[in-house]
Structure 1
Amino acid sequence: MTSADDVKPLDRLRLLPWTTPDGKPCYLSADHTTSTLSRLADDIEAAQLHSGEQVLAGARAVLQDAAAGERAVRFALTRAVESLGDVIRIAVGRGERIGDVSGCGRACGF
């Protein structure tokens, strides 16, 4: 349970860690960082980061395997690209929340 001191109001839209079905960014306007949807977004970000760690380990294993074929390398690269996209979206969203708006969100396609 959080105390009243832990509840921080949001003063801008939050970039969510998922997109619409057609790939457009989703944003959240919530009164507090402890809202149900904010907590869900936090949980999904954590899951995406954990998944990225697993993808990285798998990609490293494929790259170290001299016998890995093109199919394995393409699969590992595809998963790595997906995970990198997730991590960049998380970084941009977190940067926006702490006030580090560098413009990369729009430049990076988020």
Structure 2
Amino acid sequence: MTAPNELRLLPWSGPEGKPCYLNTDDKSGYMSRLADNFESVLLGTAAELLEQASDALDDQDVGPEDLRGLAKELTRALRDVLRVATSRGLLLAVSDPHRR
């Protein structure tokens, strides 16, 4: 059985927002590839939102409601990117236990 510190934190949440973990030794298996692809989509979305935010901050005509909506989307994207970074950091720690 895989030790708890070797479980992969998945980039999506389960019921009630609880984290989901993957227990597998097959890093190229279906669920691992699905998680990799989902992470890629999340990171791409965050990059697009960052570009939109940069443009919006340069635009003097953007109203407060538009900025508020963008801030909500950026908050969601930041939460997703943090989850991906945490997951990848945990994977690095497991693959190289001397790293720190």
- Partner Cα distance (1:29, 1:52) in 2: 27
Correspondence for 1:24 among 14, 18, 30: 18
Q: What TM-score do the two structures reach when normalised by structure 2?
A: 0.85
Which residue of the partner structure matches residue 27 of structure 2? 33
Count of aligned residue pairs for this structure pair: 91
More helix by share: 2
Query: What's the TM-score, normalizing by structure 1?
Result: 0.78
For residues 53 and 16 of structure 1, the distance between their equivalents in structure 2, rounded to whole angstroms, comes to 20
Which of 59, 62, 77 in structure 2 is aligned with 1:65?
59
**Residue ranges of structure 1 left out of the alignment (5+ in a row):** 1-9, 101-110
Q: Hey, what's the Cα distance between the residues in 1 that align with 2:44 and 2:36?
A: 12
Fraction of identical pairs, as percent: 37
State the shift of 1:42 in Å: 0.1
Moved >4 Å (runs of 4+): none
Which residues in structure 2 correspond to 1:60-99 (within 5 Å)? 60-99=54-93
Q: CA deviation at 1:61?
A: 1.2
